Structure 1
């Protein structure tokens, strides 16, 4: 099977409040997206890398790829308004190829490690759909419509989602095919699409890492600088 890492970088980073999308901000002298691409570039189980980016920033990604010498980046695609549009762009780019796995990863999670990717690739080799998550250390409240506590789910069954999320191209293509026929379909992460539209497809959990943070707010940049030094 051909394992393709799909780096989802279509966001514009409005919550960060920066003049550039957050994936282009720098940690330890390199852009966040460069850190993320580099991790998959180094992994021997990754055959190819595809970057999905807003059309305004294609040239920026091309420059980063050229300067860093990322030989595995074979496609740079334009995303859309929603995260699901970026996933669909990658699915469309690979749907005619045989025996392809798509490994979707947020460009702004630059600290995913080789061990996590090892586990994801191993699960894919067994024909599994895969999500990365870590156990919740906090009690979670489920609220009702008036913002009062309705229930307290058992913490043993609660995990916090990270990325990558990985599927055979055939599986994720089928899930989105069904989703797009649903007039009530709302953008979700890829696991949510598979869970809703292919409910018989088990999604296996690979344990993530507390360091595999998502750079969302300005204060996360400082956390990232500290993680680089570890």
Structure 2
């Protein structure tokens, strides 16, 4: 089974308050998305990379790929308004092959480790669907509609989601086929689609890492710089 890293970079980064999408902002000496590309380009067990990005930024990403000769990048696709649109673009790109694992990763998580990628692939090869997550150290409140506390879930059963999220092609394609036929479909991440539309498909957790952060707000750039300095 071919192992394909799908880098989801379709967001506009409005919450960052920058003119450029956040995936092109610099951490250390390179754009955020370049860190993410290299994590999979240099990994021996990744066969291909598919990048899904806003249509306005194809030239920027193609220039980066060409400059650094990232040989594993096969597709640069256009994303849509929602994350699910970007995932669908990758799913459709591999429709003729199907004998692949799709490993969906937020392009703005630039510090995914080789260990995490190895663990994800190992679980995939044993026939499992996979999510990456870490334990929560905070107590979580479930609220009512009027924002009062309704319940306090057992913290030992709670995890903070990261990426990658990974599936065999047949599983993720079947889940999205059902979702797209649902007129009440609400966009969510890939685990959410599988959980809702293939409820019998167990999604197994691979332990993430505190350094596998998502760059969302301006203050995340400082934390990212600190992580980059340690590598």
Partner deviation per Cα, 1:24-51 (whole Å, 9 max, x = no partner): 0001120000000000001111000000
Q: 1:110 maps to which residue? A: 110
Partners of 1:140 and 1:152 within 8 A in 2: yes
Which deviates more, 85-94 or 64-73? Answer: 64-73
Alignment pair present for 1:206 and 2:196: no
Find the aligned partners of 1:173 and 1:99 in 2 and give their Cα distance: 12
User: Shift in Å at residue 98 of structure 1?
Assistant: 3.5
Name the count of aligned residue pairs: 230
What do you get for the CA RMSD once the two structures are aligned? 0.6
Partners of 1:95 and 1:170 within 8 A in 2: no
Partner deviation per Cα, 1:127-156 (whole Å, 9 max, x = no partner): 110000001100000000110000000001
Find the aligned partners of 1:63 and 1:2 in 2 and give their Cα distance: 26
Q: 1:58 maps to which residue? A: 58
User: Shift in Å at residue 184 of structure 1?
Assistant: 1.0
Q: 2:88 maps to which residue? A: 88
Q: 2:227 maps to which residue? A: 227
Partner deviation per Cα, 1:175-211 (whole Å, 9 max, x = no partner): 0000111111110000000000000000000000000
Q: 1:140 maps to which residue? A: 140
Q: Give the SS at the match of 2:74.
A: strand
Q: 1:77 maps to which residue? A: 77
Report runs of 4+ in structure 1 exceeding 4 Å deviation: none
Partners of 2:39 and 2:113 within 8 A in 1: yes
Q: 1:164 maps to which residue? A: 164
Q: 1:41 maps to which residue? A: 41
Q: 1:131 maps to which residue? A: 131
Partners of 2:28 and 2:229 within 8 A in 1: no
Superposition map of 1:178-217 within 5 A? 178-217=178-217
Find the aligned partners of 1:144 and 1:24 in 2 and give their Cα distance: 39
Unaligned 5+ segments in structure 1 are: none
Q: Give the SS at the match of 2:170.
A: helix
Find the aligned partners of 1:54 and 1:228 in 2 and give their Cα distance: 26
Find the aligned partners of 1:139 and 1:182 in 2 and give their Cα distance: 35
Q: 2:152 maps to which residue? A: 152
Q: 2:177 maps to which residue? A: 177
Q: 2:15 maps to which residue? A: 15
Q: Give the SS at the match of 1:222.
A: helix
Find the aligned partners of 1:127 and 1:48 in 2 and give their Cα distance: 20
Q: 1:99 maps to which residue? A: 99
